Amino acid sequence: MSEVVRLSDVAKVYLMGEERVEAMKGVSFVVNRGEFVSIMGASGSGKSTCMNILGCLDVPTRGSYLLDGVNVGELSPDALAEVRNKKLGFVFQGFNLLARTTARENVELPLVYSHVPASQRRHRAMQALERVGLAGREGHYSNQLSGGQQQRVAIARALVNDPSIILADEPTGNLDSRTTVEIMSIFQQLNRQGITIIMVTHEPEVAEFTGRHIIFRDGLITSDTTYAAKDAVPPGEAGKP
Amino acid sequence: MSTFYQSFLIAMRALRVNKMRALLTMLGIIIGIAAVIAMVAIGAGASKMISDQISSIGSNLLLVLPGSTTSGGMRSGAGTTQTLTYEDAMAIKEECPSVAAVAPQVRGTGQVVYGNQNWSTVVYGVVPEVIDVRDWTIVSGRNLSQSDIDGATKNCLIGQTVADTLFGAADPVGKIIRIKKIPFTVVGLLGAKGQSPQGQDQDDVIYVPLRTAQRKLLGSQFPNTVGSIMVQAKDAEVLSQAEEEVKSLLNQRHRIGPNREVDYTVRNLSELLAVTQQSSKVMSILLGAVASISLVVGGIGIMNIMLVSVTERTREIGIRMAIGAKRRDIMLQFLTEAVLLTTCGGIIGMLLGVAGARLVASLIGWPTLVSVNTIVVAFAFSAGVGVFFGFYPARKAATLNPIDALRYE
């Protein structure tokens, strides 16, 4: 299996005025292609900081982060923007779709920034929407969609540039239990198609749907275990063969 | 190019969302540009009115006047003596290559009588060239001819004011009037010229042949002298050259040397034009400067609203950055929005400004002049205001930290 992510002794120190806050104190782990990993921990454990670093929104103070073999810590802000655009897909807790913008236009947005021609953009956006089961909703505005649908648009947006990893930050935090299962089911389908997913969550029930749990505590990894993932079966489809 | 087009689309969308706000923000630019265009148009119109008045004297003109002389230690004022002759005028015409036409003239006043009407007016003794030199038109009848001059005939041309006073609406051509009790036949009627820059009525005038005036009408002690010589240069470029030629010729003819002071003066009428144009240009610039203050105020309004917009859309900026927008992309997006605001305002302002100038023109009867130049400059300026005042907010947006921007509530 090939490596996608390799963190070696990554530490992150913030300066809050005079105070030094060490959010990560030396974290190392490797994620291989095709894994579905959940990162868990209490608030303040460093999992969000880890996610920001994995997402190339922030760079480590110490240690190195190799993404597809490239040391991301050495890149300029614009080069980081390009990495985010081409290699990473983000799914946020609050969906973070653009308001007053249709589902298709939201999905097209990463392609706009990688200068893909309009006709091709449209085609790829439609394909991505189809993969998350939203075919036919492409013309709906963000505010005309339910929470679950909005999150699916966000997943389609994350998918559209064929990233190396999808990073999901509490993707089900704003959803009810039924929709949570729906979204997790989509993630599992995508994972089965070979997409690497790293998800931050604080809910053990959600983590159960993933194959590997990394648990953070006080800026360090306390456990990293592999499980057999539980199948996410949407309630409507339960009982079907 | 597609990047620009994308930013344009995003900016259009952002402005559509806040139509009222966009319009109010634009209002500053609209008023600014409209004021600049209207003010400059009115200034340019006034300037044109003045230079039209000045060129009604005639174009590319030099005026040669008798100078002062000293006799017995007493200097007399310029023009008090008669030092210029008809022969001087003829010599200028023949020997100065840059000169197109020469019109010597004498001036006097006289009482004119026709029927039971009478009028006191200015009588000039002239040559036929005066019509070309001073840009006169003849609306009825004919010009004086060289044979009128040579034969010292009692024919005359009259100006509109004289015609109106003596004849009312009737055609004066062919009628006989008495100038200082001497009967003259009116052979032509001069077209109206209006006021001179000094406010004199240029149409209150009678032209008689030069010889007739010298010998029969204005009786001078030196019958061959002329009061002044108007010299028309071939074009504006050779005007100062013509001035030099006239001066050196007259120096030679009047034997001006170390022991004899210059007894004539040459005035360049286009200098007067230049001076007047200069002053009206200063006025235009002043008006424009006052108006551009409101443009700057409008620009500050743009900056203010763009800053609000950046703050409001911090989260959107965060999302865009997270999915791969570079700083340049964000910067371009907000700059485009600001420039779009100002150029839209600029176009509306332009239309209003032109309309305003027209309105002023029709209400107070001032001429206004909207040049393509003004419009291009105003448009470029409004775009420039957008770039200038949009830069700081756009930079602020582009330098946001994506993590903070995403977390912004």
Please give the DSSP secondary-structure letter assigned to residue A239.
Answer: T
Number of helical H runs and strand E runs in chain B: 13, 12
Out of A92, A114, A117, the one facing B324 most closely (by C-beta) is A114
At A241 the pLDDT is 45
Query: Quick one: closest CA in A to B399, which residue?
Result: A77
Interface of A with B in 36-65 (CB under 8 A): 52, 55, 57-58
| A127 touching chain B per CB within 8 A | no
Contact A81 B2 (CB under 8 A): no
The CATH code that applies to domain A3-237 is 3.40.50.300
Contact A82 B326 (CB under 8 A): yes
What average pLDDT does range A130-148 have in this prediction? Answer: 90
Contact A90 B321 (CB under 8 A): no
Query: Quick one: closest CA in A to B10, which residue?
Result: A101
Q: Give the DSSP H/E element, type plus range, for residue B287.
A: helix B269-312
Please write the tens of the pLDDT for every residue from A28-60: 999 999 999 999 998 888 888 999 999 998 889
Q: What are the extents of the domains in chain A?
A: 3-237
In chain B, residues with a C-beta closer than 8 Å to the C-beta of A98 are 316, 319
Question: How far apart are the two ends of chain A, measured CA to CA in Å?
Answer: 32
At B156 the pLDDT is 92
In chain A, residues with a C-beta closer than 8 Å to the C-beta of B323 are 84-85, 90, 109-110, 113, 157
| B321 touching chain A per CB within 8 A | yes
Nearest Cα residue to A34 out of A200, A226, A227, A192: A192
Polymer length of chain A: 241
Instruction: Give the gap in angstroms from C-alpha B382 to the nearest C-alpha of chain A.
Output: 29
Total Cβ atoms within 10 A of residue B359: 12
CA distance linking residue B187 with residue B302, whole number of Å: 69
Residues 6+ positions from A230 with CB-CB distance below 8 Å: A208, A209
Nearest Cα residue to B78 out of B67, B65, B94: B67
In the structure, what pLDDT confidence band is assigned to residue A236 with cuts at 50, 70 and 90?
low
Query: Quick one: closest CA in B to A98, which residue?
Result: B316
Structure tokens that stand for A214 in this block = 């990394």
In chain B, residues with a C-beta closer than 8 Å to the C-beta of A169 are none
Please write the tens of the pLDDT for every residue from B107-139: 888 889 998 888 899 999 999 888 888 888 888
* pTM beyond cutoff 0.80: no
Better-predicted residue by pLDDT, A228 or A112: A112
DSSP codes joined into one string, B310-367: HHHTHHHHHHHHHTT--HHHHHHHHHHHHHHHHHHHHHHHHHHHHHHHHHHHHHH---
What average pLDDT does range A109-114 have in this prediction? Answer: 90
CA distance linking residue A172 with residue A205, whole number of Å: 11
Contact A57 B3 (CB under 8 A): no
CA distance linking residue B14 with residue B12, whole number of Å: 5
In chain A, residues with a C-beta closer than 8 Å to the C-beta of B327 are 77-78, 81
In chain A, residues with a C-beta closer than 8 Å to the C-beta of B324 are 81-82, 84-86, 110, 113-114, 161
| A110 touching chain B per CB within 8 A | yes
CA distance linking residue A78 with residue A83, whole number of Å: 9
Residues in chain B with pLDDT < 70? Answer: 1-2, 55, 68-81, 197, 219-222
Interface confidence, given as ipTM, is 0.90
Q: Please say whether the beta carbons of A53 and A71 come within 8 A.
A: no
Query: Quick one: closest CA in A to B323, which residue?
Result: A85
Instruction: Give the gap in angstroms from C-alpha A228 to the nearest C-alpha of chain B.
Output: 32
Structure tokens that stand for B229 in this block = 């010589």
Question: What percentage of chain B reaches a pLDDT higher than 90?
Answer: 21
Structure tokens that stand for A238 in this block = 């339960």
CA distance linking residue B165 with residue B112, whole number of Å: 10
Please write the tens of the pLDDT for every residue from B233-288: 888 778 888 888 888 888 888 888 777 777 888 888 777 777 777 887 788 788 77
